[in-house]
Structure 1
Amino acid sequence: MKKLILSGIVALSALGVSMPAWAQELSFWSWRQEDKAQYEKFIKAFEEKNPGITVKFETFEATNYNTILSTALAGGSGPDVLFARAYGGLENVANAGYLLPLDKSNVPALESFAPAAIAAETMRSTKVTYAVPFASQTMLVIYNKDIFDANGLKEPETWDELVQASEKLKGAGIMPFGNGTATAWQNEVMVGGIASTLMGRGFYDDLMAGKADFTDKRYVEALAKLKEITKYFPDGFIGLDYASSQQLFASGMAGMFVGGSYELANFKKQNPDIKMGIFAMPGMKADDEKLVAQYFDGGYAVNAKTQHKEAALKFVNFLASQEFGQMFADELNNISAVPGVSFKDPLLAEVAELNKNSIPYIMLVHFRFGEPSGSVLLQGEIQKLLSDKATPEEVGKNLTTGLAAWYEPFKK
C-alpha cells in the first residue's frame, strides 16, 4: 500500500501538482553518528504509520556540527528537523530566529515533560521553548563488579571506604580508577562525578540564590578532595586522553571510572562480557546525602523556514511520544527525557533512581550563557589544580572572577 501511495505521489509531482504536507521528504540532522542505525529504525516505525512522509537522516561529526548547522540555517536552508543543543548551545541558534517555537498547541506532549527538561530547551529571556528534550545524562561512578567481587569490595558508603577500596585494588595490582584528564572536558566530568556530594545541595542552592560563589569553603574543600582521590588514577593520568581512559576500564585493567551514564552502553559495546555497577560518590559520613550531577543532553527542533511545517511537526510529535521514548531507552540504552518510560536495563533503572537525588551539572546548566564559558574556565582550572599549578582556593577565585565578566551575581 505504501509503495502505491508513493508511486502516486511521484506521478502527481511529475504533473506539477502541489503536494500536501504529509507527502514530503524531511531532512533530519544530528551529531550522533554512532546512533545512525538505531535512528533509522525509529524513522522506519514513524514512516510505517505516516505513509507519504519520508525522513532522511544525516549525521555530522560532533565537534563541527554547530558550525555546519549554523552556516546552513544562516543561508536560509538547513534541515527540516534537527538535533539542537541544550542551555547556552540552544540560545545561540534560537536567538537568531532559526527555530520554530514549540508549545502545547503544536506539540501537546511537552506539557507533561519535567520542568528541568523543558528549561534546557527554553530561552531564559523569553520563556519560549524551541525543542523536545531527548535525554538526560548523569555523572557518577561506574565500577567493574567482577573486580569488586574478586577483591571482596562493596559500594563505598563513606569517603574513607572509597579510599580503602582504592588502596586494596592498588595493592592487588589493579588501577583503582581508569580516568585521565588530557581531554579537556573530562576535567569538568571529574567535578560533576566526584565533587557533587562533597559540595552538597546546600552549596548549590546558595549559589543559585546569589548567596555563595565558587570561593565558598564547601566548593573549595570538594575540589581538595577531588585532587586527593586522583592519587588512585593511572600514572601519568594528566596526559591520558579520553579514548585511552575508556579502554583501561573496558578492558578490565581498572576497577572504577568516573563518567556519565552515557558510558554504560559504550563500555558494553567495547566489552560485552563486562559486568558493571554504579554509585553516587559518597560523602565524608555515611548519612551525607549522596548526589549525582544531571543535565539534559539536547532536543529535537524544527527549522523555522521549513517548507514542510505540518510534516515536520508530525515527526516531532512522534519524537515526543512515549512510544518513541521507550524505543530510545531500549535501543540506545540511554535515559529518555520522555515521561513514563520504563527501563528494562537494570543499570538504567538504577540511574533513574539515582537521579532522584541530584543537582544540576553546574557549569553546563548555568554558566555557558556568556563569555568566558564556565565550562571552559573550569576545565582549564581543574587541569591546573591537578598539575599542581593552582590551589583549590585559587581555582575557586579564578572561576568567580572570570564569570563576573558577565554573570551579574558575581559582579558585587
Structure 2
Amino acid sequence: MAVSRRWLVGLIALLLVLSLYPAGASGQGAVKLTFWSWRVEDKWAYDRMIRVFQQRNPGIAVEFVPFRATEYNTILSSALTAGKGPDIIHLRAYGGLETFTAPGFIAPLDFETVPELKTFSRTILEGAKGRKDGKIYGVPFASQTIVIYYNKKIFAQHSLTVPKTWDEFLALMKTLKDKGVLPLANGGKDGWTLEVLSGAIAPNFYGGTAFFDAVTRGQTSFKDPTYTSALARLLELRPYMHANFMGVDYATMQQLFISEQAAMFIGGSWEIGFFRAQNRNLDFDVFAAPPLKAGQTPWVSSFNDGNYGINAKTPSMEAALKFIRFTATREFGQMFTDMLAQNSAVPGVVIKDPVLKRVQELNRKATPYIMLVGFRWQAPTGSTLLQSALQAMMAGTKTPEQVGDEVTRGLSVWVDSFRGR
C-alpha cells in the first residue's frame, strides 16, 4: 500500500521528537531551549542573534532548528499533538496561528509577562491574537508589504521613470516589450503568487481599507462589482508577462528578475535580502502599483508575517519568557532588520537599507492583505479559493465575476454573511 508523503513526514517528526532530549532539558545547571522554525535560509542570522542573548543570559542555551517550509506545519503539528515539540516556536499569523492556539498548544502572553508588547501597534498585534479568545500568543517578528520591484539599470537604459498612473504603467510595459525586454517576471503556475499579484494591484481599484472593512463586517461580498472589476485589471498584465506565463513558477519568476531578463517583479518585501544575495550587482528599487488617476496615493497590501511563541508544555517557562522578551526588544529588532533586510515589527527600529526604507514610506497608506488577514481562519480559506480561481481567470477559462462568485460561495461554508448572496 502506498504511503503518503504527509503521513511519512508526520512519522519522521514524531521519531525526531522522541529521539531528542525533552524540551527545555538541562545539563550541568544550564537550561537548553529548542527553537523551531521554517526559516532555513535565515539560520545564520538567528544563530548570531541567539549568541547575543546567550552572552546576556549565560545560564540559558538556545538551539535554532529550522525545517523545510513546506513540511514545517506538519512536523510541528505532529510534535505538539504528541505533547512534545520545541520550547520556542516560530508561528504563522492570523488563521495560521489559530491552528495551534485553538487546541491549547501555545502559551498565551500578556502585557505583564511581556511588557514590551505594549509598544507594538494594535494592527500588527492582531496577527498575534487568537480569534476565539482574543489573547496574544506571540511576539510579531516582521511586517511584509507587497510592492513592484524594478531594475534601475533597465529603466535608465530606456529612459523610463516610475509610473504615476495605471495608464502610464501599461504604456511603460508596452515600451519595454517593444524594445525586446520582458516587462514582468511574474507567472501563474504557483497560485499563491497570483494572490500576491492581486494584493499589489487590486486595492487601488476596490478602494483599499474601506472595502476590506465592508467585506469583513458582512456588508458586502466578493461578488461586489467593485472587487471583480479590480480583479479584471490583472488581465491587462497578461500581454506583458512571459509568453508561457502560466507555466512560470515562483523560482523561475525570481530567476528572471535576478538574471536581469525581466524589468519588474511583483512580490513581497521579503525578497529584498534574497535578491541581493543572489546578484550583488543587481541595482533595484520598488514602487507601489500605480492608481487609476494622477494625484491619488497608491495603496499597498501589508500584513504581520508571523510570531515567536512558547510551547504551553515547556518545562522551562521562565527561561522561554526571557528569550521571548528578548525578541521584543529594539536591540533584537535592529539586528533582525540589519541582517535580513526585513521590516522588523518591533517599534523604533531604524531602517538603513534604502529599498526597505522606501517600503516603509509606502506603508503610510497600507491596507490589510485581504485574504490572509480576513479570510484564512477556517477551511476553505479565502486564499485557497482565490488562488485556484485566479489561475483559471489568468488562463482565460473564468471571468472575474466567476472568480468573485466562486470565492463567495466557497467562504459561505463558514462566513455567515456570505450565505445566500
Smaller-chain TM-score bracket: over 0.9
Cα displacement (A) at 1:21: 12
Other-structure match for 1:3: none
Other-structure match for 1:247: 255
Asked whether the equivalents of residues 102 and 132 of structure 2 are also in contact (C-alpha less than 8 Å), the reply is no
Q: Tell me whether 1:206 sits opposite 2:236 in the alignment.
A: no
Other-structure match for 2:246: 238
Q: Identify the match of residue 354 of structure 1 among 353, 358, 362.
A: 362
Other-structure match for 1:65: 72
Written as runs of structure 1 = structure 2, the 5 A alignment for 1:57-136 is 57-136=64-143
In 1: Cα distance, 2:389 partner to 2:300 partner: 21
Cα displacement (A) at 1:266: 1.0
In 2: Cα distance, 1:411 partner to 1:20 partner: 57
In 2: Cα distance, 1:26 partner to 1:372 partner: 35
Other-structure match for 2:302: 294
SS in 2 for 1:355: helix
CA shift digits 1:21-69 (9 cap, x unpaired): 9830111100000000010000000001111111011010111111111
Q: Tell me whether 1:217 sits opposite 2:240 in the alignment.
A: no
Written as runs of structure 1 = structure 2, the 5 A alignment for 1:156-235 is 156-201=163-208, 202-235=210-243
Other-structure match for 1:139: 146
In 2: Cα distance, 1:184 partner to 1:210 partner: 26
- In structure 2, list runs of 5 or more residues that go unmatched: 1-24
Other-structure match for 1:282: 290
In 1: Cα distance, 2:350 partner to 2:226 partner: 36
In 2: Cα distance, 1:83 partner to 1:372 partner: 24
Asked whether the equivalents of residues 154 and 263 of structure 2 are also in contact (C-alpha less than 8 Å), the reply is yes
Cα displacement (A) at 1:209: 3.1
Q: Identify the match of residue 401 of structure 1 among 394, 398, 409.
A: 409
In the alignment of these two chains, the number of paired residues is 395
Partner AA of 1:328 in structure 2: F
Please say which of residues 142-151 and 284-293 is displaced more in the overlay: 284-293
Partner AA of 1:267 in structure 2: F
In 2: Cα distance, 1:140 partner to 1:219 partner: 20
Taking only the aligned residue pairs, the percentage that are identical comes to: 46
In 2: Cα distance, 1:86 partner to 1:21 partner: 36
In 1: Cα distance, 2:295 partner to 2:407 partner: 30
Asked whether the equivalents of residues 26 and 32 of structure 2 are also in contact (C-alpha less than 8 Å), the reply is no
Other-structure match for 1:337: 345
Please, what TM-score do these two structures have when normalized by structure 1?
A: 0.94
Asked whether the equivalents of residues 159 and 284 of structure 1 are also in contact (C-alpha less than 8 Å), the reply is yes
Partner AA of 1:373 in structure 2: T
In 1: Cα distance, 2:147 partner to 2:203 partner: 9
Please say which of residues 196-205 and 392-401 is displaced more in the overlay: 196-205
Other-structure match for 1:11: none
Aligned Cα root-mean-square deviation (Å): 1.5
Cα displacement (A) at 1:405: 0.9
Other-structure match for 1:155: 162
Cα displacement (A) at 1:288: 2.7
Please, what TM-score do these two structures have when normalized by structure 2?
A: 0.92
- In structure 1, list runs of 5 or more residues that go unmatched: 1-17
Cα displacement (A) at 1:220: 1.0
Structure 1 residue runs of 4 or more that deviate by more than 6 Å after TM superposition: 18-22
Please say which of residues 21-30 and 65-74 is displaced more in the overlay: 21-30
Q: Identify the match of residue 313 of structure 2 among 284, 305, 311.
A: 305
| Distance change (3 Å), C-alpha of 1:287 and 1:216 | farther
SS in 1 for 2:61: strand
Cα displacement (A) at 1:205: 2.9
Asked whether the equivalents of residues 198 and 231 of structure 2 are also in contact (C-alpha less than 8 Å), the reply is yes
